[in-house]
Structure formats: structure tokens, C-alpha cells
Amino acid sequence: MEYTIFILALPVLSFLVLALAGMKMPHKVAGAIGTLSLAAVTVLSYITAIGYFSAPRTAEGLLPVSTPWNFQWLPFTESLHIDMGIMLDPISVMMLVVISTVSLMVHIYSFGYMKGERGFQRYYAFLSLFTFSMLGLVVATNIFQMYVFWELVGVSSYLLIGFYYTKPEAIAASKKAFIVTRFADLGFLIGILIYGYYMQTFTFSPSEEQLMKAGMVLPWALGLMFVGGAGKSAMFPLHIWLPDAMEGPTPVSALIHAATMVVAGVYLVARMFPLFIGFAPQTLHWVAYIGMFTAFYAATVACVQSDIKRVLAFSTISQIGFMMVALGVSTSLDPHEGGLGYMASMFHLFTHAMFKALLFLGAGCVIHAVHSNEMSFMGGLRKYMPVTHITFLIACLAIAGIPPFSGFFSKDEILAACFRFSPVAGWIMTIIAGMTAFYMFRLYYCIFWGKTNDNYAHHTPHESPVVMTLPLVILAAITVVAGWAMPFGHFVSSNGHVYDIHLDTTVATTSIIVAVLAIIIATWMYAGKTQPVADMLQKKFSRLHHAAYRRFFMDEIWMFVTKKIIFRCISTPLAWFDRHVIDQFMNFMAWATNAAGETAQPVQSGKIQTYTMWFLGGIIILTAALILL
């Protein structure tokens, strides 16, 4: 499988070509270079996936982990060295498929969405850079390579959020995203260093004796790594950057802030899953609690947002919460015992990437048609945009958990895993799933139903060009079939053995009933020409509505924490110390040198006789010294 190197090499090449020579190219050529190289990557990923999953299993019934490329980069000690390479195992191959598929769809879609945009070539260059980084992250052979690429995706996310660099909101959002995730990555780095110190290796499978020796340290290392994952995956309270990141171009939101980069945290926890299960089960449960709270919080906020991309952003946060919960409620490596969550989480990651990318790209079509993100500029669009409407509906049904769409199957596995952990967790997650169905259909009705907006008089919305609707159709097709046409448990499971997904009838029935009820409520509230119930509720609970609309003031709380506490209590004294102690010391050194120079300066009189006198004096002293000593 040596050809897998091209999966990484092609995007980085196209990035270099586009970044260095892109500005001299016409838009079409630049776009074609990016898209074609990505298409080649996609084909290679599929070949890899087919080859990998159809390969014969080992005697224990596992899919072999192969490392076609690995070279030592920075050696520290005999066993501790940073490597760069490609590792293929079930989840990394699965991620290759997800990333290349969504990225290719976004590349094609952007042809239409970004048409005529200034910096079109730059946009494609950044997309290539992002794809390279993300692919490098998932195939990492060790935790440090993962960290390197982890930061690279952070940078490309920063660059793409700030793509419209003349817009102050976009600049602020890109900085916020970078700083918040970087702040969280500090935890990740410390976690890696602790791990490297105690395990004497950066690989994912340390030796038994080192594990035994580490004892209580490992849960801390894994917990700190999870902090980094929580930052990237927008877990409460580090989620604040993701809604703002929607300032970037919509296809970017689809690729980075819905399908791929934000699930890197989930992927990280899944990567370390055997260690979590074996040595830090309590930490893993904390992951579940944080994920659960995040899922609930984001779902409540999503119910009242008026910007369609914000709704989708909070829905993404909520769904990532689901994946984290699924990992967190796992109690063993056996999928039949307590390890179902691992498979469920990865399954949901896969299906969510597809339908959430579809939702974002659909939202992009809508924004393209009405030139606004606000729901108040929309309504009744189903007549104008049939393809977008149908594909969006499919994605909504999938995320709401209606069979036979893919989201139903993966969410059902998550709920089953939660019920196995504790009925309370199961019920909470079922309710959140119902909320998901509610707010998604609120969004759907507000965009496509209701009364036709007055603004359409000046500017009739129209269906997007084929280059934009084609990716929608492809993703919708995947969303329809991915749940039942593919034996996901055969590919990915917590212990690597074949696991047959079977629906838990009780769980499935409850979740369908809840979802259908939520959709009915949403229909009753939002499908009509006017929305009396919603308006009445908004008036009645105006304070709650306001709080939820302002995301429960999390941004304000963070501003308070940073400005009033961190800046005032830590940064200001440090700045004082810097200015008055360190700077003053340096100033003193400069002053002393200067004063010494001033004192010695008259010696240089310019009179030759004076110099010769000094010279003679020196000679006499030296001679005297030589004679006397």
C-alpha cells in the first residue's frame, strides 16, 4: 500500500502550486488543479479502503494494522522519537474516505459558490492545505505527528475563516477560533509530553511495563489530551469559537466546521480508546458527561437562533456531543459487553459528516439565492429551489433519526450504548435527539415553507447551477443508503472483531416516536404562513428566549474571565514586572555602558603627543613589571 503516500503528496503539491503560482492562473485552471488532485486523492482513498477492508483478517479475526510509510524524524532517546508516517487501521481508513469524499464535494461545489470571488485561487490553495493536514492527522503513526497536523488544520481553519479578510467580523472570528483552539491545545501538548515522558514512546501502543509503571499519571495525560480534543471539537465551554467560525465561506463551514476538523477531537479519543478503557475509565466517563452537557446546551441554543448557519453550527456541536457521549459511555473493549459506543461513535461520525456537509452545502445554496443568512429573509423557497429542498429535507430527516436515513442507524447505536450504560443517560440523550429533530425542522420550515418573503419581488431566488446541486445529490444519495447498505460494524468495532449491527427494537421505537413527535410539533409551530405559537412562546418566555438567543451568555462569561480575571490578575502584574524589572535592568545595562564610554571619551584627545605619553607610560609599567616580577 505504498501508494498511500500520494494521498498526502497530491494535496500538498497542489497547495504549493496554487499558493506560489495561483495568482497568475485564471480561476478555472486554479480550481481545476485543486479539484483534480483531490479527485485523485479520493480515488486513491477508495482503493485503499477497498483493499484494506477486503484483505484477509489475521488469525485472531482482526484487520491488520499496516504502516506503509514511517521514517524517524527527531530522535530523543532509544525508544522516544518523533516519526512521520502513514498508519492504516480501520478508523484511519474510514476517516480517509470521509475526508476525501466531503472535501471533493466541497471542491466541486465551490466552483459555483465562489465563482468570480476575489482570491479564488487562494481559496483553493487553502482547501488543499486543509485537506493535506486533515489526512495527515488521521493517518498519523504517533501522537506527536497527530499534534503537528492538528496544529496545521488549526492554521488552515484560521486562514479559511478569515478568507474575507476585509470583513472585521471574519477577522475577529478567525482570531477567536485560533486562540481558543490553541489555548486548548496547550492541554493537549502537556498531555503528550507527560505521555511521552512516562511511556518512553509517542506511539499509540506503549509497552506493558511502562503502562504498569505509569499508574495514576496516565488518566491525567489522557484527560489533558482530551482538553485539546474538546477545544477542536467545540465541547462546552470551549465551543465559543465554532458559531463565530461561520463567518467563513459556507463550503468551508461544511468541510471544516461540520464534517472533518471538528470531529478531530472525537477521533483523538477514539485513537486513545484502548488506553482510556484500560487505564482511565473514569476520565472516559467525564468525556461522556461533558459531551452530554454540550449536546444539551447546544440543542437548546440551536432552537432559537435566527441565522441558519448558526443553527447548523450549534447542531454540529450537539452532534459531536453525541459522538463524545458514545465514546464516553463505553466500559469495555467488547462491543457485545460495553464497547458498543466506540462503533456507534465512529458510525455517527461517518454518517454525520455526510449529512451535515449536505446541510451546510444546502444552506450555502439558500444563502447564494437570497443573499442573507437570516431566516427572516427566507420562506417559501421550496417552489424556487426544488433540488436543494429535497436534499435538505433528506438531511433533516437523517439528523432527526427517521429510518431509513443514515442518521437513524448511527444515532440508534449511540442511544443503545447510552441505555446500556445507564437508563438516565439513555433518556437524556433520547430527549436531546428529539430536540435535534425539532430545531432541524424549525430550520427546514422557516427556509422552505411559510409565506413567500417580500424581498423576492426585487430578486427572484433561483436554483443553484448544476455544479452546486450535483454534490448535494451525491451526498443525499450517500445519506439515504449509508445506514443500511453498509455493514459498518464489520469495518470498525472497539476490539476489531466483526460486529453485526442489530437494531435494539425498544430503543429504536422510542427514538422514532420522540423524533416524529418533535417533527409534528415543529410542523405545528413553524409550517404555517404565520407562526402564532412560536411568537406567543417567545413573548411568554422572553427572558429565556433572550438568554438562549445570546447563547446563555457564554461569550460574555469568557470575556469576563479573560478581561477581568486573567488580564487583571495575571497579565497586568506580569506586564508590570516586565516593564519595571526586566526592562529597567536592561535600561541600566545600556546606561552603564553609555556612562563608561562618556567617561573614557576625553582620553581620545586627537593629540599625538598625548597618545605617545600613554604609550610610553604603558611601556614603563610593563618593563617595570617584567623587571620586578
Partner 1 sequence: MEIEVHVLHYLVISTVMMFCGIYGFFTRKNLLALLISAELMLNATNINFAVFNRYLFPEQLEGHFFSLFGIAIAAAETAVAIAIIINVYRNINKILTDDISEMKG
CA distance 39 to 625: 85
Closer by beta carbon to partner 1, 56 or else 606: 606
Closest Cα partner for 268 from 398, 134, 383, 360? 134
Place of cell 469495518: 491
Closer by beta carbon to partner 1, 116 or else 602: 602
SS3 66: strand
Q: At its nearest, how many Å lie between partner 1 and the CB of residue 158?
A: 53
CA distance 363 to 251: 9
CA dihedral sign of residues 622, 627, 628, 629? positive
8 A C-beta contact, residue 336 and residue 319: no
Q: At its nearest, how many Å lie between partner 1 and the CB of residue 618?
A: 14
CA distance 477 to 390: 11
CA distance 628 to 464: 102
Residues that bind partner 1 (CB under 8 A): 601, 603-609, 612-613, 616
Closer by beta carbon to partner 1, 603 or else 628: 603
Closer by beta carbon to partner 1, 23 or else 613: 613
User: In the chain, what's the furthest Cα-to-Cα distance?
Assistant: 114
CA distance 165 to 167: 5
Q: How many CB atoms lie within 10 A of CB 70?
A: 15
Distances in Å between the Cα of 258 and the Cα atoms of 106, 234, 251 are 12, 11, 10
Closer by beta carbon to partner 1, 54 or else 604: 604
Closer by beta carbon to partner 1, 77 or else 604: 604
CA distance 173 to 510: 40
Q: At its nearest, how many Å lie between partner 1 and the CB of residue 591?
A: 19
Q: At its nearest, how many Å lie between partner 1 and the CB of residue 629?
A: 25
Closer by beta carbon to partner 1, 56 or else 602: 602
Q: At its nearest, how many Å lie between partner 1 and the CB of residue 601?
A: 5
Closer by beta carbon to partner 1, 481 or else 621: 621
Q: In this structure, are strands 81-88 and 66-75 parallel, antiparallel, or unpaired? A: antiparallel
CA distance 37 to 6: 10
Q: At its nearest, how many Å lie between partner 1 and the CB of residue 626?
A: 19
Closer by beta carbon to partner 1, 590 or else 603: 603
CA distance 551 to 529: 28
Q: At its nearest, how many Å lie between partner 1 and the CB of residue 614?
A: 12
Q: At its nearest, how many Å lie between partner 1 and the CB of residue 611?
A: 10
Closest Cα partner for 348 from 402, 418, 399? 399
8 A C-beta contact, residue 499 and residue 490: yes
Q: At its nearest, how many Å lie between partner 1 and the CB of residue 619?
A: 10
Closer by beta carbon to partner 1, 574 or else 616: 616
Q: At its nearest, how many Å lie between partner 1 and the CB of residue 604?
A: 3
Closer by beta carbon to partner 1, 116 or else 606: 606
CA distance 484 to 481: 6
Q: At its nearest, how many Å lie between partner 1 and the CB of residue 73?
A: 54
Closer by beta carbon to partner 1, 591 or else 615: 615
Closest Cα partner for 497 from 86, 90, 51, 1? 90
CA distance 22 to 123: 10
CA distance 623 to 573: 58
Q: At its nearest, how many Å lie between partner 1 and the CB of residue 575?
A: 40
Closer by beta carbon to partner 1, 566 or else 596: 596
First to last CA, the chain: 81
Q: At its nearest, how many Å lie between partner 1 and the CB of residue 617?
A: 12
Helix (H) / strand (E) element for 208: namely helix 208-214
Q: How many CB atoms lie within 10 A of CB 60?
A: 8
CB neighbour list of residue 389: distance below 8 Å, 6 or more residues apart = 381, 382, 448
SS3 content of the chain, % helix, strand, coil (to 5): 75, 5, 20
Closest Cα partner for 130 from 114, 146, 150, 110? 150
Closer by beta carbon to partner 1, 166 or else 601: 601
Closer by beta carbon to partner 1, 608 or else 629: 608
Q: Provide DSSP, 323-339.
A: HHHHHHT--SS-TTTT-
The DSSP letter of residue 376 is G
Q: At its nearest, how many Å lie between partner 1 and the CB of residue 592?
A: 19
Q: At its nearest, how many Å lie between partner 1 and the CB of residue 597?
A: 9
8 A C-beta contact, residue 399 and residue 506: no
SS3 383: helix
Closer by beta carbon to partner 1, 282 or else 610: 610
Q: At its nearest, how many Å lie between partner 1 and the CB of residue 84?
A: 57
